[in-house]
Amino acid sequence: MRAEGTHRMTEPTQPSLFAAHPGKRAAERFFLAYTPVWGVLAASVMLTGVANRWGDVELLAFALLLSAGTAAGAYVFAPAEEKAKPLRERYATKILVWLAIYSFLANTFGTSFFYEALHAHYGFDTRFNLNGVPVFLTFMTITYFATYSVLACMGWRFVRDRVMPRSRVKGCALAFAVPVVIAGVESLLNANPWMKTLYCFDHPAMALTFGTVAYGTWLALAMPFWVTLDERPGDDSSMRKVIAGSLLATALLIADAEFLKRVVAPHVTEVAWGHVGLRDYGTSCLGAAPEVVP
């Protein structure tokens, strides 16, 4: 009986899909639990037509509400040892700073790829735009990229612990497939007929194929930064490293987007150089301009 009990105690445990670092693990669990909350709220606003009637104030307030929930929960549900640290040393602060920088720069300078190469169009009635992109989308991006970072890390841990030991080739292939699948799910959720007055593609099939792979490469470039940030107990990435990593990931994204737009996209579609797909009614998938109610 004693030998049997000892044997049970020494049996290896199944590798976890969550981080070993307690602060990161708690944040990942909250981000994952918060996903259906922000998902349902965003869907209710977009699919019911409410967002069609909203302007900058309402859209920005809504985006701030969702991103505030993302940030607050990451701090509230942190373990005691994490709460004892200074704010700048907590994982929640690091990932939120990383995502804020990346979301702002990626939206402002990366959306042109969607406009020019994927022929995407936004119908939001906004005046507060940067580089032709509604500013409220930056705060929305922080929220859903928090979810994406968790899914990417979980996917990588599965590949690392359960596939790589058996086949490195399959592991590498699956590691790249993880961000592509995440990108594909987002594309499918957004490219639906109920949202075509707010967000649509002139050529949905091209956007869901070439666009998904292109977007997947952006997430693949970000994934190593997400995976290595405070992954194990005792890890303590400096804020300087966090900011530098986010800026580097953004630079890689922009370089990748330019490469795809100039080298690959011309073989797939006609690149609309300089086009801004914001409320460009009449000639796009957005259709006719909505009637102005006096």
Say how far apart CA 201 and CA 91 lie, in whole Å.
37
| pLDDT confidence band for 287 (50 / 70 / 90) | confident
pLDDT tops 70 at residue 3? no
- Candidates 124, 133, 122, 129; CA nearest to 59 is 124
pLDDT tops 50 at residue 90? yes
Yes or no: say if 169 and 203 are a contact pair by the CB < 8 Å rule.
no
Q: Give the pLDDT mean for 124-149.
A: 96
What tens digit of pLDDT does each residue of 169-181 get? 999 999 999 999 9
Sequence-distant (6+) residues with CB within 8 A of 144 are 38, 186
Tell me the percentage of the chain whose pLDDT exceeds 90: 84
What tens digit of pLDDT does each residue of 222-261 get? 999 999 999 999 999 999 999 999 999 999 999 999 999 9
Least confident of 10-24, 33-47, 108-122, 131-145: 10-24
What tens digit of pLDDT does each residue of 93-117 get? 999 999 999 999 999 999 999 999 9
pTM of the model: 0.92
Say how far apart CA 24 and CA 233 lie, in whole Å.
9
* HEC string for 255-289: HHHHHHHHHHHHHCCCCCCCCCCECCCCCCCCCCC
| pLDDT confidence band for 199 (50 / 70 / 90) | very high
Averaged pLDDT score across all residues of the chain: 92
What pLDDT shows up at residue 100? 98
Say how far apart CA 233 and CA 21 lie, in whole Å.
4
